[in-house]
A and B are shown apart, each in its own frame.
Chain A
Amino acid sequence: MVHFSTDGRPLPTPTPITAPYFDGLRERRLVLQCCPRHGYFFYPRGRCPECLGDDWEWGELSGQGTVYSFTVDRAGHDPALASRIPFAIALVDLDEGPRLVGNMVDCDVGDVTVGMAVEAAYEDVDDSTLLGFRPVG
Protein backbone atom coordinates (compact mmCIF):
# COMPACT_ATOMS: atom_id res chain seq x y z
CA MET A 1 0.00 0.00 0.00
CA VAL A 2 1.02 3.58 -0.58
CA HIS A 3 0.68 6.57 1.67
CA PHE A 4 1.97 10.05 1.03
CA SER A 5 4.58 12.21 2.72
CA THR A 6 3.76 15.74 3.82
CA ASP A 7 5.31 16.96 0.57
CA GLY A 8 3.30 14.47 -1.49
CA ARG A 9 5.77 11.63 -2.16
CA PRO A 10 4.39 8.09 -2.31
CA LEU A 11 5.73 6.05 0.60
CA PRO A 12 5.53 2.33 1.34
CA THR A 13 3.10 1.04 3.95
CA PRO A 14 4.86 -2.01 5.45
CA THR A 15 2.91 -5.20 6.08
CA PRO A 16 3.51 -7.73 8.88
CA ILE A 17 5.68 -9.69 6.44
CA THR A 18 7.71 -6.77 5.07
CA ALA A 19 8.10 -4.72 8.27
CA PRO A 20 11.52 -6.18 9.27
CA TYR A 21 12.93 -5.07 5.90
CA PHE A 22 11.70 -1.52 6.41
CA ASP A 23 12.84 -1.55 10.05
CA GLY A 24 16.29 -2.47 8.72
CA LEU A 25 16.34 0.47 6.33
CA ARG A 26 15.55 2.83 9.21
CA GLU A 27 18.66 1.46 10.98
CA ARG A 28 20.78 1.84 7.80
CA ARG A 29 20.93 -1.91 7.38
CA LEU A 30 19.89 -3.87 4.31
CA VAL A 31 18.15 -6.93 5.69
CA LEU A 32 16.57 -9.59 3.49
CA GLN A 33 15.33 -13.13 3.92
CA CYS A 34 17.76 -15.95 3.16
CA CYS A 35 16.57 -19.44 2.20
CA PRO A 36 18.96 -22.22 3.35
CA ARG A 37 18.72 -23.79 -0.11
CA HIS A 38 18.35 -20.81 -2.48
CA GLY A 39 19.98 -17.90 -0.72
CA TYR A 40 18.70 -14.36 -0.40
CA PHE A 41 15.49 -13.34 -2.10
CA PHE A 42 13.54 -10.12 -2.63
CA TYR A 43 10.91 -8.87 -1.94
CA PRO A 44 9.95 -10.16 1.50
CA ARG A 45 7.29 -12.87 1.50
CA GLY A 46 6.26 -15.75 3.69
CA ARG A 47 7.84 -18.45 1.57
CA CYS A 48 10.91 -18.73 -0.65
CA PRO A 49 9.89 -18.08 -4.28
CA GLU A 50 12.11 -20.96 -5.42
CA CYS A 51 11.04 -23.81 -3.14
CA LEU A 52 8.12 -22.35 -1.16
CA GLY A 53 9.96 -23.32 2.01
CA ASP A 54 9.33 -21.23 5.10
CA ASP A 55 12.59 -22.01 6.92
CA TRP A 56 14.26 -18.76 5.81
CA GLU A 57 16.04 -16.40 8.19
CA TRP A 58 16.63 -12.67 8.02
CA GLY A 59 20.22 -11.75 7.20
CA GLU A 60 22.16 -8.56 6.59
CA LEU A 61 23.65 -7.86 3.17
CA SER A 62 26.68 -5.79 2.19
CA GLY A 63 24.61 -3.26 0.25
CA GLN A 64 27.14 -3.54 -2.60
CA GLY A 65 25.92 -4.18 -6.13
CA THR A 66 25.93 -3.18 -9.78
CA VAL A 67 23.38 -1.37 -11.93
CA TYR A 68 21.51 -3.96 -14.03
CA SER A 69 19.58 -1.25 -15.84
CA PHE A 70 18.16 2.19 -15.24
CA THR A 71 16.14 4.98 -16.72
CA VAL A 72 15.79 8.67 -16.13
CA ASP A 73 12.22 9.82 -15.61
CA ARG A 74 11.99 13.17 -17.39
CA ALA A 75 8.20 13.32 -17.64
CA GLY A 76 6.92 12.70 -14.13
CA HIS A 77 5.11 9.43 -14.79
CA ASP A 78 3.86 9.68 -11.23
CA PRO A 79 2.33 13.14 -10.94
CA ALA A 80 3.20 12.97 -7.23
CA LEU A 81 6.90 12.93 -8.19
CA ALA A 82 6.72 15.49 -11.00
CA SER A 83 8.55 18.08 -8.90
CA ARG A 84 11.52 15.70 -8.53
CA ILE A 85 12.27 15.14 -12.22
CA PRO A 86 14.68 14.32 -13.66
CA PHE A 87 15.47 11.40 -11.38
CA ALA A 88 17.12 8.06 -12.11
CA ILE A 89 15.46 4.76 -11.25
CA ALA A 90 17.87 1.84 -11.09
CA LEU A 91 17.53 -1.93 -10.95
CA VAL A 92 20.52 -3.12 -8.92
CA ASP A 93 21.91 -6.62 -8.69
CA LEU A 94 23.26 -7.00 -5.18
CA ASP A 95 26.50 -8.93 -4.79
CA GLU A 96 24.56 -11.55 -2.81
CA GLY A 97 22.13 -12.12 -5.71
CA PRO A 98 18.78 -10.40 -5.42
CA ARG A 99 17.73 -7.54 -7.71
CA LEU A 100 16.26 -4.45 -6.03
CA VAL A 101 14.86 -1.17 -7.26
CA GLY A 102 15.67 2.29 -5.99
CA ASN A 103 16.53 5.83 -7.00
CA MET A 104 20.11 6.84 -7.70
CA VAL A 105 21.34 9.47 -5.24
CA ASP A 106 24.48 11.58 -4.84
CA CYS A 107 25.16 11.61 -8.59
CA ASP A 108 24.07 13.37 -11.75
CA VAL A 109 21.39 11.43 -13.65
CA GLY A 110 23.56 11.70 -16.75
CA ASP A 111 26.38 9.80 -15.07
CA VAL A 112 24.49 6.57 -14.38
CA THR A 113 25.56 3.60 -16.51
CA VAL A 114 24.66 -0.06 -16.84
CA GLY A 115 27.23 -2.06 -14.86
CA MET A 116 28.12 0.85 -12.57
CA ALA A 117 29.20 -0.22 -9.05
CA VAL A 118 26.86 1.12 -6.40
CA GLU A 119 26.13 0.82 -2.70
CA ALA A 120 22.95 1.13 -0.69
CA ALA A 121 21.91 4.61 0.40
CA TYR A 122 19.18 5.50 2.84
CA GLU A 123 16.85 8.46 2.67
CA ASP A 124 14.50 9.35 5.51
CA VAL A 125 11.18 10.80 4.38
CA ASP A 126 8.73 11.50 7.18
CA ASP A 127 8.12 8.17 8.95
CA SER A 128 9.73 6.09 6.18
CA THR A 129 13.24 5.30 5.05
CA LEU A 130 13.64 4.70 1.32
CA LEU A 131 16.37 2.55 -0.20
CA GLY A 132 18.46 4.22 -2.86
CA PHE A 133 21.85 3.63 -4.43
CA ARG A 134 24.95 5.77 -4.87
CA PRO A 135 28.01 5.21 -7.06
CA VAL A 136 31.15 3.84 -5.38
CA GLY A 137 34.74 4.42 -6.37
Chain B
Amino acid sequence: MGKRAAAIAGLTEWAPKRVWDEPMFTMEACARLAAEVLADAEVDKGEVDGLVVNGLRESPLFAPSALAEFLGIRSNFNEVVDLGGASPAGMVWRAAAAIEVGICETVLVFVPSVPAPPQPGSNGGPMKMKMGAYMGGEVWGSPQGQFEIPAGLVAATPSFAMAAQRYMAAYGVSEETLAKVAVDSRYNAQANPLAVFYGKPITIDDVMTSRYVADPLKLLEIVMPCYGGSAVLVTSAERAARCPHRPAYVSGYGEHLTHKSITYAPDVIDTPIRLAADRAFAMAGVSRDAVDMASMYDCYTITVLLTIEDAGFCPKGQGGRFIDEHSLRYDGDWPLNTHGGQLGMGQAGLGGGMSHITEAVRQVQGRAGERQVPDCNIAYANGTGGMLAEQVALILEGA
Protein backbone atom coordinates (compact mmCIF):
# COMPACT_ATOMS: atom_id res chain seq x y z
CA MET B 1 0.00 0.00 0.00
CA GLY B 2 1.60 3.21 -1.15
CA LYS B 3 0.90 6.79 -0.32
CA ARG B 4 -2.71 7.96 -0.21
CA ALA B 5 -2.14 11.46 1.09
CA ALA B 6 -2.69 13.37 -2.13
CA ALA B 7 -4.44 12.86 -5.43
CA ILE B 8 -4.89 14.54 -8.79
CA ALA B 9 -8.53 15.60 -8.80
CA GLY B 10 -8.79 17.65 -11.96
CA LEU B 11 -7.08 18.53 -15.22
CA THR B 12 -7.28 20.69 -18.27
CA GLU B 13 -5.33 20.40 -21.48
CA TRP B 14 -5.30 22.49 -24.64
CA ALA B 15 -4.92 20.89 -28.05
CA PRO B 16 -1.28 21.31 -29.11
CA LYS B 17 -0.91 23.41 -32.24
CA ARG B 18 2.05 24.10 -34.50
CA VAL B 19 0.86 27.66 -35.04
CA TRP B 20 -0.96 29.43 -32.23
CA ASP B 21 -3.51 31.98 -33.39
CA GLU B 22 -4.24 33.52 -30.02
CA PRO B 23 -1.04 34.81 -28.44
CA MET B 24 -1.27 35.54 -24.74
CA PHE B 25 0.94 36.32 -21.80
CA THR B 26 1.94 33.34 -19.67
CA MET B 27 0.10 34.80 -16.69
CA GLU B 28 -3.08 35.13 -18.74
CA ALA B 29 -2.66 31.53 -19.84
CA CYS B 30 -2.31 30.46 -16.20
CA ALA B 31 -5.48 32.33 -15.30
CA ARG B 32 -7.42 30.56 -18.03
CA LEU B 33 -5.92 27.19 -17.12
CA ALA B 34 -6.75 27.83 -13.44
CA ALA B 35 -10.39 28.63 -14.20
CA GLU B 36 -10.66 25.47 -16.30
CA VAL B 37 -8.97 23.08 -13.87
CA LEU B 38 -10.90 24.44 -10.88
CA ALA B 39 -14.15 23.93 -12.80
CA ASP B 40 -13.11 20.39 -13.73
CA ALA B 41 -12.38 19.49 -10.10
CA GLU B 42 -15.29 21.57 -8.76
CA VAL B 43 -12.95 23.30 -6.34
CA ASP B 44 -13.31 26.95 -5.33
CA LYS B 45 -10.36 29.22 -6.03
CA GLY B 46 -10.33 30.25 -2.36
CA GLU B 47 -9.34 26.68 -1.45
CA VAL B 48 -6.10 26.87 -3.44
CA ASP B 49 -3.08 27.34 -1.20
CA GLY B 50 -0.23 26.12 -3.38
CA LEU B 51 1.23 27.09 -6.78
CA VAL B 52 3.80 25.29 -8.90
CA VAL B 53 5.09 26.69 -12.18
CA ASN B 54 8.10 26.21 -14.40
CA GLY B 55 8.63 29.95 -14.64
CA LEU B 56 6.73 32.95 -15.93
CA ARG B 57 7.85 34.89 -18.98
CA GLU B 58 6.47 38.13 -17.54
CA SER B 59 8.29 37.64 -14.24
CA PRO B 60 11.69 35.97 -14.76
CA LEU B 61 12.30 36.41 -11.04
CA PHE B 62 9.68 35.97 -8.30
CA ALA B 63 7.46 33.82 -10.51
CA PRO B 64 5.26 32.25 -7.79
CA SER B 65 4.56 35.58 -6.12
CA ALA B 66 3.74 37.18 -9.46
CA LEU B 67 1.31 34.37 -10.14
CA ALA B 68 -0.30 34.55 -6.68
CA GLU B 69 -0.78 38.28 -7.18
CA PHE B 70 -2.18 37.86 -10.69
CA LEU B 71 -4.60 35.08 -9.73
CA GLY B 72 -5.56 36.55 -6.35
CA ILE B 73 -4.41 33.48 -4.43
CA ARG B 74 -3.04 33.38 -0.87
CA SER B 75 -0.54 30.60 -1.17
CA ASN B 76 1.41 28.55 1.39
CA PHE B 77 3.49 26.44 -1.02
CA ASN B 78 5.27 28.04 -3.97
CA GLU B 79 7.63 26.28 -6.31
CA VAL B 80 9.50 26.76 -9.55
CA VAL B 81 10.61 23.43 -10.98
CA ASP B 82 13.45 23.30 -13.51
CA LEU B 83 13.71 19.73 -14.78
CA GLY B 84 13.09 20.16 -18.49
CA GLY B 85 10.61 17.62 -19.80
CA ALA B 86 10.54 15.94 -16.39
CA SER B 87 9.27 19.16 -14.80
CA PRO B 88 5.56 18.30 -14.84
CA ALA B 89 6.12 14.95 -13.13
CA GLY B 90 8.51 16.66 -10.71
CA MET B 91 5.91 19.34 -10.03
CA VAL B 92 3.21 16.77 -9.27
CA TRP B 93 5.21 14.83 -6.69
CA ARG B 94 6.43 18.01 -5.02
CA ALA B 95 2.81 19.11 -4.69
CA ALA B 96 1.82 15.71 -3.30
CA ALA B 97 4.70 15.71 -0.85
CA ALA B 98 3.88 19.25 0.31
CA ILE B 99 0.29 18.19 0.92
CA GLU B 100 1.44 15.11 2.81
CA VAL B 101 3.70 17.09 5.15
CA GLY B 102 0.80 19.44 5.80
CA ILE B 103 2.09 22.75 4.52
CA CYS B 104 -0.81 23.11 2.07
CA GLU B 105 -3.90 21.27 0.88
CA THR B 106 -4.73 22.20 -2.70
CA VAL B 107 -2.08 22.95 -5.31
CA LEU B 108 -2.39 24.20 -8.88
CA VAL B 109 0.31 22.93 -11.23
CA PHE B 110 0.70 24.90 -14.46
CA VAL B 111 2.63 24.32 -17.67
CA PRO B 112 1.60 27.05 -20.10
CA SER B 113 3.39 27.11 -23.45
CA VAL B 114 1.96 29.89 -25.57
CA PRO B 115 3.47 32.71 -27.61
CA ALA B 116 3.23 36.23 -26.20
CA PRO B 117 1.35 38.95 -28.03
CA PRO B 118 3.73 40.63 -30.44
CA GLN B 119 5.89 43.24 -28.77
CA PRO B 120 5.52 46.75 -30.18
CA GLY B 121 8.02 47.12 -32.98
CA SER B 122 8.24 43.37 -33.75
CA ASN B 123 6.99 41.79 -36.95
CA GLY B 124 3.89 40.22 -35.45
CA GLY B 125 1.94 37.51 -37.20
CA PRO B 126 1.39 33.92 -36.13
CA MET B 127 4.49 32.36 -34.63
CA LYS B 128 5.80 28.86 -35.17
CA MET B 129 7.14 27.07 -32.10
CA LYS B 130 10.93 27.22 -32.07
CA MET B 131 13.29 26.31 -29.30
CA GLY B 132 16.68 27.99 -29.11
CA ALA B 133 19.28 25.40 -30.05
CA TYR B 134 21.68 26.35 -27.24
CA MET B 135 19.06 26.37 -24.46
CA GLY B 136 21.07 28.87 -22.45
CA GLY B 137 24.32 26.93 -22.74
CA GLU B 138 26.01 29.87 -24.41
CA VAL B 139 26.37 31.95 -21.24
CA TRP B 140 29.77 32.93 -19.84
CA GLY B 141 31.39 30.09 -17.91
CA SER B 142 29.03 27.38 -19.18
CA PRO B 143 30.86 24.11 -19.92
CA GLN B 144 28.28 23.39 -22.63
CA GLY B 145 29.25 26.58 -24.46
CA GLN B 146 32.93 25.61 -24.47
CA PHE B 147 32.74 21.93 -25.33
CA GLU B 148 29.36 20.79 -26.69
CA ILE B 149 28.17 23.81 -28.68
CA PRO B 150 31.39 24.21 -30.71
CA ALA B 151 31.11 20.51 -31.63
CA GLY B 152 27.56 21.04 -32.86
CA LEU B 153 26.09 19.02 -30.00
CA VAL B 154 23.08 21.28 -29.51
CA ALA B 155 19.28 21.02 -29.22
CA ALA B 156 18.21 17.55 -28.10
CA THR B 157 17.98 15.29 -31.12
CA PRO B 158 21.73 14.64 -31.63
CA SER B 159 22.08 13.60 -27.98
CA PHE B 160 19.21 11.11 -28.12
CA ALA B 161 20.52 9.91 -31.47
CA MET B 162 23.81 9.03 -29.78
CA ALA B 163 21.90 7.00 -27.19
CA ALA B 164 20.10 5.19 -30.03
CA GLN B 165 23.36 4.59 -31.90
CA ARG B 166 25.04 3.13 -28.81
CA TYR B 167 22.00 0.99 -28.05
CA MET B 168 21.89 -0.41 -31.57
CA ALA B 169 25.59 -1.28 -31.40
CA ALA B 170 25.17 -2.93 -28.00
CA TYR B 171 21.93 -4.87 -28.53
CA GLY B 172 21.24 -4.84 -32.25
CA VAL B 173 17.74 -3.41 -32.20
CA SER B 174 16.43 -2.68 -35.67
CA GLU B 175 15.25 0.67 -36.93
CA GLU B 176 11.93 -0.99 -37.79
CA THR B 177 11.40 -1.86 -34.13
CA LEU B 178 11.99 1.74 -33.11
CA ALA B 179 9.64 2.81 -35.89
CA LYS B 180 6.88 0.65 -34.38
CA VAL B 181 6.86 2.92 -31.32
CA ALA B 182 6.02 5.88 -33.55
CA VAL B 183 3.41 3.91 -35.48
CA ASP B 184 1.59 2.61 -32.37
CA SER B 185 1.66 6.10 -30.87
CA ARG B 186 0.18 7.55 -34.01
CA TYR B 187 -2.52 4.85 -33.93
CA ASN B 188 -3.45 5.99 -30.43
CA ALA B 189 -3.52 9.60 -31.56
CA GLN B 190 -6.32 8.67 -33.96
CA ALA B 191 -8.52 8.26 -30.87
CA ASN B 192 -7.50 11.63 -29.43
CA PRO B 193 -9.12 14.65 -31.09
CA LEU B 194 -6.67 16.93 -29.23
CA ALA B 195 -3.71 15.34 -31.02
CA VAL B 196 -1.86 17.37 -33.63
CA PHE B 197 -1.70 14.20 -35.75
CA TYR B 198 -5.39 13.29 -35.30
CA GLY B 199 -6.61 12.00 -38.62
CA LYS B 200 -3.06 11.27 -39.79
CA PRO B 201 -2.07 7.63 -39.16
CA ILE B 202 1.33 6.39 -40.34
CA THR B 203 2.94 3.08 -41.26
CA ILE B 204 6.33 1.52 -40.53
CA ASP B 205 7.21 2.31 -44.13
CA ASP B 206 6.36 5.99 -43.60
CA VAL B 207 8.78 6.12 -40.68
CA MET B 208 11.49 4.16 -42.46
CA THR B 209 11.36 6.40 -45.52
CA SER B 210 11.28 9.66 -43.58
CA ARG B 211 14.58 11.52 -43.78
CA TYR B 212 17.44 11.05 -41.35
CA VAL B 213 17.69 14.01 -39.00
CA ALA B 214 20.47 12.72 -36.76
CA ASP B 215 21.53 9.13 -37.46
CA PRO B 216 19.89 6.77 -36.65
CA LEU B 217 16.84 8.91 -35.81
CA LYS B 218 14.46 9.80 -38.61
CA LEU B 219 11.93 12.60 -38.82
CA LEU B 220 8.89 10.55 -37.81
CA GLU B 221 10.67 9.32 -34.66
CA ILE B 222 10.91 12.87 -33.37
CA VAL B 223 8.23 14.97 -31.66
CA MET B 224 6.65 17.96 -33.33
CA PRO B 225 7.21 21.12 -31.27
CA CYS B 226 3.90 22.83 -30.59
CA TYR B 227 2.22 25.46 -28.50
CA GLY B 228 -0.34 24.51 -25.89
CA GLY B 229 -0.80 24.36 -22.17
CA SER B 230 -2.19 22.26 -19.37
CA ALA B 231 -2.75 22.22 -15.64
CA VAL B 232 -3.65 19.72 -12.95
CA LEU B 233 -5.07 20.18 -9.49
CA VAL B 234 -3.44 18.16 -6.71
CA THR B 235 -5.27 18.04 -3.40
CA SER B 236 -5.53 16.07 -0.19
CA ALA B 237 -7.13 12.66 -0.27
CA GLU B 238 -9.89 13.98 1.95
CA ARG B 239 -10.69 16.86 -0.42
CA ALA B 240 -10.26 14.73 -3.53
CA ALA B 241 -12.89 12.32 -2.24
CA ARG B 242 -15.43 15.16 -2.49
CA CYS B 243 -14.50 16.00 -6.10
CA PRO B 244 -16.58 14.63 -8.98
CA HIS B 245 -13.86 12.47 -10.50
CA ARG B 246 -12.29 9.35 -9.08
CA PRO B 247 -9.14 10.48 -7.24
CA ALA B 248 -5.87 9.54 -8.93
CA TYR B 249 -3.66 9.03 -5.88
CA VAL B 250 -0.01 9.92 -6.26
CA SER B 251 0.97 6.70 -4.54
CA GLY B 252 4.66 6.55 -5.38
CA TYR B 253 7.34 8.72 -6.91
CA GLY B 254 11.04 8.94 -7.55
CA GLU B 255 13.51 11.30 -9.13
CA HIS B 256 17.11 10.98 -10.24
CA LEU B 257 19.66 12.87 -12.30
CA THR B 258 23.39 12.73 -12.87
CA HIS B 259 24.35 15.05 -15.73
CA LYS B 260 23.29 17.83 -18.05
CA SER B 261 25.09 17.23 -21.34
CA ILE B 262 24.97 13.70 -22.77
CA THR B 263 28.80 13.73 -22.92
CA TYR B 264 28.92 13.26 -19.16
CA ALA B 265 26.13 10.69 -18.77
CA PRO B 266 27.62 7.76 -16.86
CA ASP B 267 26.02 5.38 -19.40
CA VAL B 268 23.80 6.72 -22.18
CA ILE B 269 21.83 3.46 -22.40
CA ASP B 270 21.39 2.82 -18.67
CA THR B 271 19.45 5.92 -17.77
CA PRO B 272 18.58 7.62 -14.48
CA ILE B 273 14.99 6.43 -14.92
CA ARG B 274 16.05 3.14 -13.32
CA LEU B 275 16.56 4.62 -9.85
CA ALA B 276 13.59 6.99 -10.17
CA ALA B 277 11.28 4.12 -11.14
CA ASP B 278 12.64 1.71 -8.51
CA ARG B 279 11.90 4.27 -5.82
CA ALA B 280 8.41 5.00 -7.18
CA PHE B 281 7.42 1.34 -7.39
CA ALA B 282 8.85 0.61 -3.93
CA MET B 283 7.05 3.60 -2.43
CA ALA B 284 3.76 2.57 -4.01
CA GLY B 285 4.24 -1.08 -3.08
CA VAL B 286 3.23 -1.96 -6.61
CA SER B 287 4.76 -4.56 -8.92
CA ARG B 288 5.45 -3.90 -12.58
CA ASP B 289 2.92 -6.60 -13.48
CA ALA B 290 0.15 -4.68 -11.75
CA VAL B 291 0.44 -1.66 -14.04
CA ASP B 292 -2.65 -1.30 -16.25
CA MET B 293 -1.23 1.38 -18.55
CA ALA B 294 2.06 3.18 -18.99
CA SER B 295 2.52 6.79 -19.95
CA MET B 296 6.18 7.21 -20.87
CA TYR B 297 7.92 10.38 -21.95
CA ASP B 298 8.49 9.94 -25.67
CA CYS B 299 10.42 12.83 -27.15
CA TYR B 300 11.93 10.17 -29.45
CA THR B 301 11.26 6.51 -30.12
CA ILE B 302 14.51 5.52 -28.40
CA THR B 303 13.35 7.23 -25.20
CA VAL B 304 10.44 4.80 -24.98
CA LEU B 305 12.63 1.74 -25.52
CA LEU B 306 15.09 2.86 -22.84
CA THR B 307 12.25 3.72 -20.45
CA ILE B 308 10.54 0.34 -20.88
CA GLU B 309 13.82 -1.33 -19.93
CA ASP B 310 15.08 1.00 -17.24
CA ALA B 311 11.69 1.35 -15.54
CA GLY B 312 11.91 -2.42 -15.13
CA PHE B 313 9.22 -3.70 -17.48
CA CYS B 314 11.72 -5.99 -19.20
CA PRO B 315 15.39 -6.94 -18.78
CA LYS B 316 18.14 -4.72 -20.19
CA GLY B 317 18.64 -5.40 -23.84
CA GLN B 318 15.17 -6.91 -24.29
CA GLY B 319 13.33 -3.67 -25.04
CA GLY B 320 13.33 -4.29 -28.77
CA ARG B 321 11.83 -7.73 -28.36
CA PHE B 322 9.29 -6.28 -25.90
CA ILE B 323 8.18 -3.69 -28.45
CA ASP B 324 7.97 -6.31 -31.20
CA GLU B 325 5.98 -8.75 -29.06
CA HIS B 326 3.46 -6.32 -27.58
CA SER B 327 0.86 -4.05 -29.08
CA LEU B 328 1.37 -0.65 -27.50
CA ARG B 329 -2.06 0.51 -28.68
CA TYR B 330 -4.88 1.55 -26.39
CA ASP B 331 -6.73 -1.59 -27.44
CA GLY B 332 -3.58 -3.73 -27.37
CA ASP B 333 -2.12 -6.03 -24.73
CA TRP B 334 0.28 -3.38 -23.30
CA PRO B 335 -1.36 0.04 -23.56
CA LEU B 336 1.29 2.75 -23.74
CA ASN B 337 0.82 6.47 -24.30
CA THR B 338 -2.83 5.96 -25.10
CA HIS B 339 -3.22 9.66 -25.92
CA GLY B 340 -0.77 9.20 -28.76
CA GLY B 341 2.21 10.22 -26.70
CA GLN B 342 4.02 13.36 -27.64
CA LEU B 343 4.99 11.60 -30.87
CA GLY B 344 1.31 11.52 -31.83
CA MET B 345 -0.12 14.44 -29.91
CA GLY B 346 2.67 16.99 -30.35
CA GLN B 347 5.03 18.47 -27.80
CA ALA B 348 3.46 21.60 -26.38
CA GLY B 349 6.57 22.74 -24.52
CA LEU B 350 6.47 21.33 -21.02
CA GLY B 351 2.81 20.57 -21.67
CA GLY B 352 4.20 17.65 -23.66
CA GLY B 353 5.58 16.16 -20.47
CA MET B 354 2.33 16.91 -18.67
CA SER B 355 0.36 15.05 -21.36
CA HIS B 356 1.68 11.75 -20.00
CA ILE B 357 0.27 12.64 -16.59
CA THR B 358 -3.08 14.02 -17.78
CA GLU B 359 -3.60 10.86 -19.85
CA ALA B 360 -2.71 8.55 -16.96
CA VAL B 361 -5.18 10.50 -14.80
CA ARG B 362 -7.91 10.28 -17.46
CA GLN B 363 -7.39 6.53 -17.68
CA VAL B 364 -7.49 6.03 -13.91
CA GLN B 365 -10.54 8.29 -13.67
CA GLY B 366 -12.30 6.34 -16.42
CA ARG B 367 -12.74 9.29 -18.73
CA ALA B 368 -10.46 8.43 -21.64
CA GLY B 369 -13.43 7.90 -23.96
CA GLU B 370 -12.82 5.80 -27.05
CA ARG B 371 -9.30 4.94 -25.87
CA GLN B 372 -10.26 3.95 -22.33
CA VAL B 373 -8.29 0.98 -21.00
CA PRO B 374 -10.78 -1.31 -19.22
CA ASP B 375 -10.48 -1.48 -15.42
CA CYS B 376 -7.55 0.92 -15.31
CA ASN B 377 -6.52 1.25 -11.68
CA ILE B 378 -2.76 1.65 -11.74
CA ALA B 379 -0.81 3.84 -14.15
CA TYR B 380 2.90 4.41 -14.50
CA ALA B 381 3.82 7.89 -15.75
CA ASN B 382 7.23 9.41 -16.12
CA GLY B 383 9.13 12.39 -17.38
CA THR B 384 12.50 12.66 -19.09
CA GLY B 385 14.25 16.00 -19.07
CA GLY B 386 17.19 17.37 -20.98
CA MET B 387 19.58 14.88 -22.52
CA LEU B 388 18.28 11.69 -20.85
CA ALA B 389 19.20 13.60 -17.72
CA GLU B 390 16.37 14.55 -15.39
CA GLN B 391 14.12 11.60 -14.65
CA VAL B 392 10.93 11.50 -12.60
CA ALA B 393 8.63 8.48 -12.18
CA LEU B 394 5.09 8.52 -10.77
CA ILE B 395 2.63 5.80 -9.83
CA LEU B 396 -0.98 6.97 -10.04
CA GLU B 397 -3.64 4.76 -8.48
CA GLY B 398 -7.38 4.88 -8.55
CA ALA B 399 -8.04 3.20 -5.24
- A, B co-complexed: yes
Are A11 and B165 within 8 A (Cβ)? no
Residues of A within 8 A of B158 (CB): 71, 73, 77, 89
- In Å, the complex CA distance between A12 and B142 comes to 10
Question: Does A136 reach chain B (CB closer than 8 Å)?
Answer: no
Question: Does A34 reach chain B (CB closer than 8 Å)?
Answer: no
- In Å, the complex CA distance between A113 and B216 comes to 12
Residues of B within 8 A of A100 (CB): 147, 263
B68 to chain A, nearest CB (A): 35
A66 to chain B, nearest CB (A): 12
- In Å, the complex CA distance between A14 and B268 comes to 27
Residues of A within 8 A of B143 (CB): 43, 45
Residues of B within 8 A of A22 (CB): 146
- In Å, the complex CA distance between A10 and B142 comes to 14
Are B139 and A1 within 8 A (Cβ)? yes
A4 to chain B, nearest CB (A): 10
Are A75 and B264 within 8 A (Cβ)? no
Are A1 and B146 within 8 A (Cβ)? yes
Residue from A9, A15, A69, A78 within 8 A of B165 (CB atoms): A69
B11 to chain A, nearest CB (A): 33
- In Å, the complex CA distance between A102 and B152 comes to 8
Residues of A within 8 A of B264 (CB): 99
Question: Does A103 reach chain B (CB closer than 8 Å)?
Answer: yes
Count of chain A residues with a beta carbon within 8 Å of a chain B beta carbon: 39
Question: Does B103 reach chain A (CB closer than 8 Å)?
Answer: no
- In Å, the complex CA distance between A87 and B157 comes to 14
A98 to chain B, nearest CB (A): 10
Are A89 and B146 within 8 A (Cβ)? no
Within 129-178 of B, Cβ neighbours of A (below 8 Å) are at 133-134, 137-143, 145-155, 157-158, 161-163, 165-166, 169
Residues of A within 8 A of B166 (CB): 68-69, 114
Question: Does A51 reach chain B (CB closer than 8 Å)?
Answer: no
* A 78-89 binary contact with B (CB < 8 Å = 1; else 0): 110100100101
Are A78 and B214 within 8 A (Cβ)? no
Within 70-125 of A, Cβ neighbours of B (below 8 Å) are at 70-75, 77-79, 81, 84, 87, 89, 91, 99-103, 113-115
Residues of A within 8 A of B262 (CB): 91
Residue of A nearest to B133 (CB): A78
* B 235-276 binary contact with A (CB < 8 Å = 1; else 0): 000000000000000000000000001111000100000000
Residue from A87, A113, A115 within 8 A of B152 (CB atoms): A87
- In Å, the complex CA distance between A125 and B217 comes to 30
Residue from B142, B147, B152 within 8 A of A73 (CB atoms): B152
Residue from A13, A73, A84, A91 within 8 A of B146 (CB atoms): A13
Are A72 and B140 within 8 A (Cβ)? no
Are B151 and A89 within 8 A (Cβ)? yes
A100 to chain B, nearest CB (A): 7
Residues of A within 8 A of B70 (CB): none
Residue of B nearest to A103 (CB): B151
Question: Does B375 reach chain A (CB closer than 8 Å)?
Answer: no
Question: Does B206 reach chain A (CB closer than 8 Å)?
Answer: no
Are B138 and A1 within 8 A (Cβ)? yes
* B 193-230 binary contact with A (CB < 8 Å = 1; else 0): 00000000000000000011111110000000000000
Residues of A within 8 A of B161 (CB): 71
Question: Does A61 reach chain B (CB closer than 8 Å)?
Answer: no
- In Å, the complex CA distance between A9 and B268 comes to 27
A1 to chain B, nearest CB (A): 4
Residues of A within 8 A of B151 (CB): 89, 101-103, 130
Question: Does A18 reach chain B (CB closer than 8 Å)?
Answer: yes
- In Å, the complex CA distance between A89 and B158 comes to 8
Residues of A within 8 A of B133 (CB): 77-79
Supply 7 further A-B pairs (C-beta < 8 A) apart from A2-B149, A77-B133: A1-B142, A15-B141, A22-B146, A69-B166, A74-B212, A77-B214, A101-B263
The 5 closest A-B pairs by CB, nearest first: A114-B169, A71-B161, A69-B166, A12-B146, A69-B162
Binding site for B on A (CB under 8 A): 1-2, 9-15, 18, 22, 43, 45, 68-75, 77-79, 81, 84, 87, 89, 91, 99-103, 113-115, 128, 130
Pull 9 A–B residue pairs with CB atoms less than 8 Å apart, ordered by A. Answer: A2-B150, A43-B147, A69-B163, A71-B217, A77-B152, A78-B133, A78-B152, A89-B162, A91-B263
